[in-house]
Structure 1
Amino acid sequence: MALTIVSILIAAIPVAYCYPTAFQDLEEIGTNRTSIKFLAVGDWGGVPYPPYITAVQKATAREMSKVAEQMGADFILALGDNFYYKGVDSVDSPRFEDTFESVYTAKSLKVPWYVLAGNHDHAGNVKAQIEYSHKSDRWRFPSYYYELNFHIPNTGKTLTIIMLDTIMLCGNSDDYVDKKPRGPLRAVDANRQLTWLQERLARSKADFLLVAGHYPVWSVSEHGPTECLLQRLHPLLIKYQATAYLCGHDHNLQYIEESGVGYVVSGAGNFLDPDVRHWNHVPKGSVKFFTGQASTLGGFIHAEVTKDKMIVTFFQAKGTSLYRTVLSQRNFE
């Protein structure tokens, strides 16, 4: 009897962390649509004192609304550090209103926001952010890590986005003076997530496969490459032909290409950092684009996934695109 109870409990544990697979419905699909469009922004989480937002966040939100209206956005990926500096303490925190709901008010941004947690979120109550999904029409944070699947309209092609919790996987960078994570708080949780990820990647037949987390795999800026992700995630991205990896953590915009995978850093939603101290710590020639200048006023990316390619455009908050790249669909031959 005791053994049965234990095995039931063990079977139930992963449910809290990962989310069952299903295809998401895209809202307001026109009959002629043949692509999926989305924005991705990281490190957008305001400040914990009035007015609870920054000038960069405000400018970026305004430009996001314009780009979403003009180019289209079916959803938004929120890449962590959703609330500076210590996340939220409960599902009733006023920060949800002050730093999220009352900032991204444009109609074009009233689309699903798929959320993952950053290191600052883990300083607070991540479960409260997950629970907020039940209180908000657009905040979608079903579990610490989860998978999103989409049919690209009228093409027969599919897009999969795997949302990770890189803090659970690698540890919290804020626990150390040099801001480098030293390993997970609970190895069992890290290993469970990694096993789940490997299974999802191995099984994926998606034409476009994106993985998103807060920490970067490659970055030239203050935090640099994340050693834990280079060891645990990087080989999987290459082995399973991921289209791209999206992240934040460093407060700038970067595009790095290596071994057929695109690495997008979109961490300019609230602060800007022009630091390039790790320029020589990424593979030679891999950096295709970088900006962290205060003059940009902030930034984010717009992506469009069509039947045979993914177009990624980097925008600055002051109203112009800075860089565009095209990624190919996965090749299973």
Structure 2
Amino acid sequence: MDTWMVLLVLQASLLLPLADCTAPTPTLRFVAVGDWGGVPNAPFHTAREMANAKEIARTVQTMGADLILSLGDNFYFNGVHDVNDKRFQETFEDVFSDRSLRNVPWYVLAGNHDHLGNVSAQIAYSKVSKRWNFPSPFYRLHFKIPRTNTSVAIFMLDTVTLCGNSNDFLSQQPERPKDLTLARAQMSWLKKQLAAAKEDYVLVAGHYPVWSIAEHGPTRCLVKHLQPLLVKYGVTAYLCGHDHNLQYLQDENGVGYVLSGAGNFMDPSVRHQRKVPNGYLRFHYGSEDSLGGFAYVEISPKEMTITYIEASGKSLFKTSLPKRAKP
């Protein structure tokens, strides 16, 4: 064999393993953002919402995303009237309009402000918009990480139905569910789903926080009824909004609490810091000067990584949680 042929074969054999080594690790990636819902008067969005939309688009373009989790309070201050409400266009479609976001599906749940309007209209909008997915008040999502056997379950809850609505200007705490039968049905559904979940990562998402040091603080109803289930069934993390800032908390059992409620407003309050057990809080950001931010989650066969990103593009905090030890 000619010398140049030997060199060519040798060069090719060296290049092949290198290409394999640099292949990206397969992951499931998503943005979690809550409380992004603009305002009810023109131009129907805020500077923070626009800044978040721009940075989410940049993040999706550079880092990729398979979906976006919308953690409630999608339309301030009183939700929407019907499926033809202009707020869908003015606060959602026209704001999250970047080309990089056009084919990324949103999975939606309702917040307390959405319940002041017509949640059924938000569910019906799933048939209008190709990227708005809100099939029912509470539902289950299942994903497989590409090219692996690693699976992810996400349970989307309606915490307002579970606990009742909260008035931001009167009592901060939801006092009781409007329909006790409906609340019990949702909790029964969740218990059965969690007991049967065999996925490598199990996430639960709702609007109200379980734990929070900020203005609204821990939601007593969820601390009593939901938190024990998260521990019992080895849930990886609970994601929420409601308080208008960014927080990460982790309990002694290893359950992560991802609070991402900075999509439209920023509140620096830490008034409930003594209501959260010592050692739980790992990160809090509520600067009034900030344009807000969101959480970016990446799940690999090995671990789940959570990065908090400010709307300016700055990475604020990063942490990870291990794959679930299956019950």
TM-score scaled by structure 1? Answer: 0.89
Aligned pairs for 1:159-308 (under 5 A) are: 159-174=152-167, 177-258=170-251, 259-308=253-302
In structure 2, the partner of 1:82 is 74
State the partner residue of 1:123: 116
Structure 1 residue 176 displacement after superposition: 7.4
> In structure 2, what is the Cα distance between the partners aligned to 1:42 and 1:240?
25
**1:23 alignment partner in structure 2:** none
Amino acid at match of 1:329: K
SS in 2 for 1:60: helix
2:45 to 50, 53, 60: 53
- 1:162 & 1:127 partners in 2: Cα distance? 19
Which amino acid letter does the alignment assign opposite residue 110 of structure 2?
Answer: A
What amino acid maps onto 1:186 in structure 2?
A: D
The counterpart of 1:71, out of the listed 59, 63, 81, is 63
Task: After TM superposition, give the deviation of residue 33 of structure 1 in Å.
Answer: 6.2
Task: Provide the aligned length of Structure 1 versus Structure 2.
Answer: 303
Partner of 1:140: 133
Distance 2:69 2:272 in 1: 26
Q: CA deviation at 1:201?
A: 0.2
Residue in 1 that maps onto 2:95: 103
Where do 5+ consecutive residues of structure 2 fail to align?
1-22
**Would you say the 8 A contact 1:33–1:154 is kept in 2?**
no
| Cα deviation, residue 108, structure 1 | 2.0
CA distance in 1, matches of 2:220, 2:123: 28
Displacement, 1:34?
1.2
Percent identity of equivalent pairs: 54
The CA RMSD over aligned residues, in Å, is 1.2
For residues 95-121 of structure 1, what are the alpha-carbon distances to aligned partners after superposition, in whole Å with 9 as ceiling and x for unaligned? 000000000011222210000000000
Instruction: Extract structure 1 runs of 4+ deviating beyond 6 A.
Output: none
Q: 5+ residue gaps in structure 1?
A: 1-30
Partner letter of residue 156 of structure 2? M
Pair 240,295 (structure 1): closer, same or farther in 2 beyond 3 Å: same
Cα distance in 2, alignment partners of residues 276 and 145 from structure 1: 30
Q: Distance in 2 between matches of 1:200 and 1:118?
A: 22
Partner secondary structure for residue 96 of structure 1: helix
Contact 1:73 1:108 (C-alpha < 8 Å) held by counterparts: no
The corresponding residue for 1:150 is 143
Is 1:320 the equivalent of 2:309?
no
8 Å Cα contact 1:33-1:153 kept in structure 2: no
Conserved? CA contact 1:210–1:243, under 8 Å: yes
2:200 touches 2:326 (CA, 8 Å); kept in 1?
no
Task: Name the CA distance, whole Å, in 2 between partners of 1:328 and 1:191.
Answer: 31
User: Can you list the C-alpha shifts for 1:209-245, whole angstroms capped at 9, x where unaligned?
Assistant: 0000000000000000000001110000000010000
Whichever of the two has the greater Rg, that structure is 2
Distance 1:310 1:107 in 2: 27
Report the alpha carbon displacement of residue 32 of structure 1 after superposing the two structures with TM.
6.5
**Partner of 1:17 in structure 2?**
none
CA distance in 1, matches of 2:68, 2:99: 13
